[in-house]
Structures are given as structure tokens and as C-alpha cells.
Structure 1
Amino acid sequence: MNTIGLFGVLAGSAVAIAFFLSSFFLGLKRREDPQNLWLGLILLAIGLRVGKSIFYFLLNDMAPFGLALGFLGLASIGPLVWMMVRHASGFRLENSWNFIIPVLGSVVCYIVSPSPWETYLYESATILMSIYLGFSWWYLVNSDKSIYNSWNRRILIMATGVLVALAYQHFADSMMDYAWGAIVAAVFLYWVFIQSFRFGVFPKGIAVTLPEQIVNQVRDAFENQKLFKEQGMNLQQFATKLEVPSYLVTRSVKQLYDRSFPETLNHFRVEEIKQMLLDPKKEHLKIESLAYDVGFVYPSAFYAAFKKYTGQTPTTYQKEASLLSA
């Protein structure tokens, strides 16, 4: 096997890892933390872009389709990283404009192939990716330091490394140079795969006896420190603040409250706002403002959670509680 063939095998394995991690985060891990939606989609997008080269050279008859998928992946990486860094809990209509270029560009790429326009489209998508990643770094560096040091930073490092590798490919003068770009991108995918073990992403096959100290630490964080009130709080941020592996946080929460982490987060937020709704000193405040104060980012998420845990709307709850106390 020649060097280019070896690089192809290594890059192909990295693409398989990207798709495996993507399916894992979009499936099992998404139930633990809604933000894993973005992480899964980022890995899928990178897998599509890195896999484009393999697809293009192995299945030349289907090159237009492979190029279109590769463009969709490349142009989507930046917007997806931006969504993740901003701690968006799910896809919302107001975010959809970020994905107009990836979708329309992939269609155009399929139509014009084969054509020199393919190169221009890919170069434009790479520039777009660099702009999004630049803003993402700026936002992350200027955010809370516990967020900066979290899993998000490692994903952003991976995306930036992939960007550098793909940008290098645009200047490649030979097939070997192009292959080097693919292998560098693959190295960053391997790195994230290794990091996922360090961060306790995969469930442990052997039962773990939870240390009492960690269980108490998690309880204190919810009941006394009230970390749930921090905007955009998620499992990884919570674990980072406590300096405890995320899987131990998840198991501690399950043991303490018999709920998943997101459910526990919303439960405590709803309990907090129930008290605020009955406080005469806060009667003049809007309910949405109170929801923001206890950690909810979107009003729709607050109303859905409140209805789930109380069976009532906040206004109905407030009125009925006032009548009972009269």
C-alpha cells in the first residue's frame, strides 16, 4: 500500500469515528443534554466534509452527489459550532437563516458539477466557516471561564484544526499535499474521540459505587448554590464547575432525584419560580422576566416545563394560589 492509500485508510477510519460519535450524541446522549444535538450535528458535518474526498475518488460516477454532501457538511460546520457555543438548547426557527447557504449551496454544487465553480463554492464555504469560528472563539473567550475550559473548547479546537487542514487543501499542488490535509483533519477527529473517554462520554460497563462526597457535592450545587439559575446551564458546564466527570454527575442526579439531569434542572427552576410567583414584592415583574432569572433562556421552554411539573400555566397557578391564601 502506498502512502496516499494509507492516508486514505486513516482518513476513512476517522470519518467512521465521526459518524459513530455523531449517532451516539444524537441518540443516547441527547436525552441527557439537549445541547448534544449540536455536537452530534457538528461531528456529522465534519464527517461529511472529510469523507467527501474519499467518496469523490472511489465513486467517481457519483462525484456530484459526493461534492454536494461535502459542501453541505463544510458550510454547516461554522453555524453549528456557533449554535453550540451560544448554548442553544435546540433548533429554533430564528436560527434557520444560518443554514440557508449550506442547503442552497449544496444544491448549486450538485447542479454545476463538474465545473470550476465547485472550487469557488468550496473556497467560499471555507471562508464562511472561518468567520463563524472566529466569532465562536471570541464569544467563548469572553464567556464564563468555566465554560471556556469545558468540552466546548475542545470541540472548537477540533473544528479550527479541521478548518486549517481544509484551507491547506485549497493550496495543495499535488495529490500528496491534498492527502496531508485530509490526514490532519482526521487527526483532530481521533483526538476528540480520545477526549470523549476522558470526559466520561461513554457509559461505563461496570457498576460504579458513587462516592458520598460527590453525591453531596451535586446536592449542594442544586439545593444551596443553585447553579441551575445560571443561564444556559448544561451537564458539561455543571460538571466542569464541580470538577466532577459528567457521567458521575448524571448518576448522582439520578440517585438523588430519580430524574435525568435536564429534568432535574427544570424541576428546580420551576420550584424556584413557584415561590417567586407568590412573592408580593415581585408582583410587578413579568413572568418571562422571572423565568429568565431562574435560568430559562426561552419563554417557550419555561412555559412547557412549568405546565409539565404543575399541570397549570404560571398565571393560573398564581391566581389559584392567591385565592387559597386569601
Structure 2
Amino acid sequence: MPTIGIIIGFLGFSTFGPLVYWYFKFDSKQNAKDFPKAEYLHLVFPIIGCLLMTISEKYDNEMYLACNISLTVYLAYIYFRFVFKRRTMDSHLLKLDKVIFITMSLLLFVFLIQYFVATIQLYVIGTGLSSLIISGLFIYMMKYPPNLMKAIHKTKPKPEQIHTIIEALEVKKMYHKQGISLTEFSKTINIPKYIISITIKDRYLKSFPEVINHMRIEDIIKKLKNPDSVNTKIEELAFDVGFNSTSSFYTAFKKETSMTPREFQKASILNH
């Protein structure tokens, strides 16, 4: 095999340990903003190993043995420092951590067998097993996608972002646009969706769709209380404030007022 192929393989193998370690370490510190410069010391071994293997091929075997030892030490430390001690995390994230740890442990097992029983047949089998293990992790994460946005959600919205969101809803009344979604709203005001969700939850104690429906119903309620709207079709009022179907409008209205629009209108007129 060409030397460059061996070096590339070593570089990938030698960085397994640091990458998994960083995942667990900074996953446990969800508020970590800056990557400490001292952490780059974990890359000293991969860099030195690549240089030695570039200078002389006689270090190849020793470097791959060192990779196995390095990954073993990293996984042992990760287990006792992070995996074993975590009890208060979200159950799904904790399960994901265990799956990732088990995946890396299985890969290490394959690498150890390949190293100590170095036959071409075993390398082929090991490659197949490694692919199967990684595919298993991929399928698991597709079926049970982790909520990786949780760390980002701890970011507090800026005052100007809060002002823009509230202005778009309460002043510009963007909820009057039929079929408006969180994604469309986010693109229009150029603010990330998670920032909008946090702001709306803090201010209105509702989700984005709930706030949209609530504001639409509030507009209709004001019109229904006006005696001049008695002869106006209620469905027209619904379409004017952004509802795109009568069924969704009636459902939302009854949820907000416990009455149908017509019942609410009659009650309002009688009270006046």
C-alpha cells in the first residue's frame, strides 16, 4: 500500500479518540461557547505520528498499535468520566450517548482483532463489520433523531430580535397572511426559528401556531362585538384575518371562546 494511504488511515484512526472525547465533554457542558485552546493538545499524537510515518515507514506498525492503545484509554476515561456518571440528562440523549459509546467500543474491538490477527481475509471481514456497525448507528439516529437544538436553545434572544418578532405579530399583523408557517415567518423577518419559538413561548406562553390562531380569533372577536358587523358573513371575517378554511376557523374559535362565532356575536349584542 502507498505510504500516503497508510498515513491517511492513521490520521483517521488516531483522531477517533479525541473526537469522541470532545463530543462527550462538550455535550455535558451545553453552555460552552468557546473551544479551549488547550484541547488542541489532543491532536499532538496524530500530528507527530503522521510526521514520523512520513519520514520513515518503520514506524507504521508501532503507530497503529499506539492508535489502539490511545482509543482504549479514551473510551475507558469517557465511560468512567461521562457515561457512567450521567443520570440527570434527558433520557433520549443519555440513550444516544450509550449507543455512540457502544458503537465506538465495537469498532475498537474490530480494530484490535485486525491488528493482532493480520490476515487479508480478516481485514476484509473487519471492513464489512465496521461498515455494519456504523450503518447501525446511522439507522438508529435516523429512527430516533436526537434533539441537537437543545444546546442552541439556551441562547437568549437579543432585545432587537424580540422587538422585531413582537412588532411583526402585534403591529404588522403578519398572522393575517393565509397559511403562514414558522419557517416562512422566520425567513420574512430574518430571525432563526428557534429564537422565534423561545420569544413566543416566553411572551405568550403558547406555541407559534397557537399564537397565530389566538391573534386571529382576537381580531374576529373585536369585529363580532361591533354591531355594524351583524350583516357581515362570519366566514369572510375568518378569511380576512388569515384562516384558509371554515373548519379550521370554527375549531379554533370554539377552542378560544367555548362558543360558536354566531353564539358569541348574539351574546355580545345582547350584553350591549
Give the TM-score taking structure 1 as reference length.
Answer: 0.42
Q: Which has the larger radius of gyration?
A: 2
Higher relative contact order (CA 8 A, sep 6+): 1
TM-score (norm 2): 0.50
